[in-house]
Amino acid sequence: MKNSKLTLTAFDWVPDFAQGHVRDLRVRWALEEAGFPYEVEVMAQGAQRAPAHLRRQPFGQIPTLEIDGLSLFESGAILWRIAEADDALLPADIAARSRVLSWVFGALNSLEPPIGMLATLDLFIEDKDAAARIRPEVVRAVQGKLKRLAEALGPDPHIAGSFSVADILLTTVLRDVPDDLLAGFPSLQAYVERHTARPAFSAALEGQMRPFAENAARYEKAS
């Protein structure tokens, strides 16, 4: 993949609450860790619903990654494909690799849905009274998942022995947990801080944020 032509899709701007959290960040991070050169196709808001993009991402979402003309969608699938091509993100040992794969799915299927539901209640539900009634149950669900993750992690710096694609996914998911909830799990808070201190994460975040700053004025005028 290092010699392939890689093109990532990303938004040119998103609202403040989403900046630094759009899922192309995790793909950028993996590519930066692997040292794979890539280009970014920056898309205006609304372009994700155009037929050209729907042909490569049927749900009209970001990101996609094109590898020598072959388009992949869903961030988990993209990250696994990157990890398969780089020893730094996926161990060769089959037992260790299986543990990484389990935590890739754990991040996406067990942790991300309740955390995403909490974000939906806090940011998108217009009926605030209804959201307030439901929120405590969702908080308890998130706390339960975080407790299990903290127990599985224990004192280890990484979830599967050495740094891997699973740590990228878990870290990006945990970054969406409200600060007051994550503070209740010091080992997970330290886990996020440890991994977001990596140079590749900083490069990925800077890459995502740059077009947001460059295009903010245009969207402000449009509103």
Mind listing the pLDDT tens digit for each residue in 185-215? Answer: 999 999 999 999 999 999 999 999 999 999 9
Q: Cα–Cα distances in Å, from 136 out to 122, 130, 139, 181?
A: 12, 11, 5, 12
Cis peptide bond N-terminal to 114, omega within 30: no
CB half-sphere exposure, 52, CA atoms < 13 A: 5
Length in residues, the chain: 223
Contact 67, 4 (CB under 8 A): yes
pLDDT digits (tens, 9 = 90+) for 113-165: 999 999 999 999 999 999 999 999 999 999 999 999 999 999 999 999 999 99
Model confidence at 223: pLDDT above 70: no
Contact 176, 119 (CB under 8 A): yes
Q: For residue 180, which amino acid is it?
A: D
pLDDT digits (tens, 9 = 90+) for 28-77: 999 999 999 999 999 999 999 999 999 999 999 999 999 999 999 999 99
Q: Which domains does the chain carry?
A: 6-88+200-222 (3.40.30.10), 94-198 (1.20.1050.10)
Helix, strand counts (H, E) of the chain: 10, 4
So what's the pLDDT on residue 2? Answer: 84
